[in-house]
Structure 1
Amino acid sequence: MKLPSQYINGITSRSLSRFILGLIPRTIKYLKYSFIKKIAISKGAQIGEYSIIPFSLAKKANKNLVIGKHSIISTSNFSSFRYPITIKDNVIIGKNAKLVLGGHNIDSPHFEHCRNSPPLIIEDYVWICPDSVILPSCSHIGKGAVIGANAVVTKDVPEFSIMSGNPAKEIRKRKETHHELVTE
């Protein structure tokens, strides 16, 4: 991919002081997210390199949380960490998205926690838009899928599907996803 010459000229004409000033905010963010990631890892979570999670999620994390590389999680609305969740590489989960991982046995007088499906697995290149809800009846979101804003996912999502609505239905398939990055 060839970069525009105006962009290249802007970079090469920068002074050393401007370059150093540009490093300061990047370094602060790097240190902040590294610290947050270390908190989650100290609690048993597995977090891949260059992944970003909020502090509120790191405080709640445990050994049941696995996040791959280059993923950005902008929510901490995970209902429970009693059940395993795997978020693979290059996943984006928007603000206020809710992952409801378990429920209660409504036929029991004690309302014990339960999950009637396998662990939740979110494959590579998935985008879960803000305010969407993933219910416990969903155990797999396929590679390259997009869950639209405010969608309520009640069942597994096939690869490259764009889901929308309540309950979420496939509105179409994506044609491709990051074809230059994906190696099969």
Structure 2
Amino acid sequence: MRAILNRCRRLLWRTLFYRMVFGERGSRGEDLPHTRVAPSTCIDGESGLRLADHVFIGQFNFIDATAGLDIEEGVQITNFVSIVTHSSHRSIRLLGRAYVEHTGPPPGYLKAPIRIGAYSFVGPHSLIESGANIGKGCVICAYSQVRGEVPDFAIMQGQPAVQIGDVRHRDAELLGRYPWMAAHYEAWAGELPDKHQ
């Protein structure tokens, strides 16, 4: 009961005051001192969320982690993003009023975990659908609808999103201008971008 009261107090505080602060606690109780989650973001199924450090989650997002959601280090989720690990819209459409009384798994019901790879960026008003596996270093452009596999370093755009580029082209240019950053980039990316990709 005390845990529920404390959670309600935290939610009330977050709802009333939209001030974002550093420092969250992971699902296993570990400190995430560089992670920020906006108070207006709604997280459903919080126990299914695996959150790394150095993550930024902006204002007014809906995050459904009921089927499992892995947000890796350095991910940036902007504002008005929906991440859904389950969807019943097809089942409800097929079963109509019988959906409520149906026993067993409903036909057409989607439920699958989502992974967002390290140092990826999710633009505003995007939708990440159940089963999406977004690689590291990706850019999901604003208003994109992501489903399925997204390769590392992909730039994705559209509904449904398709790959329109590779972030390593621009990364190579920037590292050419700021070579001292190469060690930092290589630490998470595992490699430096090829200038001729």
- Normalising by the smaller structure, the TM-score range is 0.5 to 0.7
3-state SS in 2 of match to 1:171 = strand
Rounded to whole Å, the distance in 1 between the matches of 2:43 and 2:122 is 22
| Residue from 152, 165, 173 that aligns with 2:158 | 165
In the other structure, the counterpart of 1:145 is: 138
3-state SS in 1 of match to 2:148 = coil
Distance 1:139 1:154, change over 3 A: closer
List per-residue Cα deviations over 1:36-87 (Å, max 9, x = no partner): x35xx5x867663300002244775622111111110114533533211010
In the other structure, the counterpart of 2:46 is: 62
Structure 1: gaps (5+ residues): 1-28
Distance 1:171 1:53, change over 3 A: same
Structure 2: gaps (5+ residues): 1-18, 101-105, 173-180, 191-197
How many residues in Structure 1 have an aligned counterpart in Structure 2?
148
RMSD of the TM alignment (CA)? Answer: 3.0
In the other structure, the counterpart of 1:180 is: 183
More strand by share: 2
| Residue from 106, 119, 125 that aligns with 1:125 | 119
One-letter amino acid of the structure 2 residue matched with residue 110 of structure 1? Y
Select between 127-136 and 75-84 the one with higher mean Cα deviation.
75-84
Is this contact kept in 1: 2:144–2:158, CA < 8 A?
yes
Distance 1:58 1:125, change over 3 A: same
3-state SS in 1 of match to 2:149 = coil
Q: TM-score scaled by structure 2?
A: 0.63
Distance 1:49 1:170, change over 3 A: same
